Amino acid sequence: MGMDSWVVGQTAFWYAVREVKPAEIVDRVVVFWLDLVTPGRGAGQSQWWMSAWRSLEQTSERATRELDIRSDLRRWDNAHPEIHHELIVRYLCGAVVSIAVTAFYDSIFHRPRIYVSRPGPGERPTRRNY
């Protein structure tokens, strides 16, 4: 990794840190997490009133869990103001973008070189030693 790769990685990191919208990312992560932890439809869905009742239960459980998650985030921010959850999201996004851009840049401009022995005096270059 040369100096140019380092500059490309740093530029990508700071661009991503400035441009990312952590509130949108946190919202999507919360929705994804709620989809994972909120139980799906159970037995007794054949009757319309049971289906409506279960849907109401799911909606209220989902809303309760979302409020719990958001209050935990707020509590974290109050307990650790120097490392706000949005700052963590920004830095993680910056790190991911930096790694991806640096890998892409290195794959294009820095082909790995295979160091093999050169032919000695009087030897013909072959595929094996050149």
Nearest to 90 by CA among 26, 33, 9, 16: 16
Q: Which helix (H) or strand (E) holds 108?
A: helix 85-109
Tens of pLDDT, residue by residue, the chain (130 residues): 567 888 999 999 999 999 999 999 999 999 888 888 877 655 545 566 666 667 777 788 888 999 999 999 999 999 998 889 999 999 999 999 999 999 999 888 876 555 556 666 777 666 654 4
Structure tokens at 106: 């290195």
98 class by beta-carbon count within 10 Å (0-12 exposed, 13-18 middle, 19+ buried): buried
Q: With the C-alpha atoms ordered 23, 25, 26, 30, is the resulting torsion angle positive or negative?
A: positive
pTM: 0.65
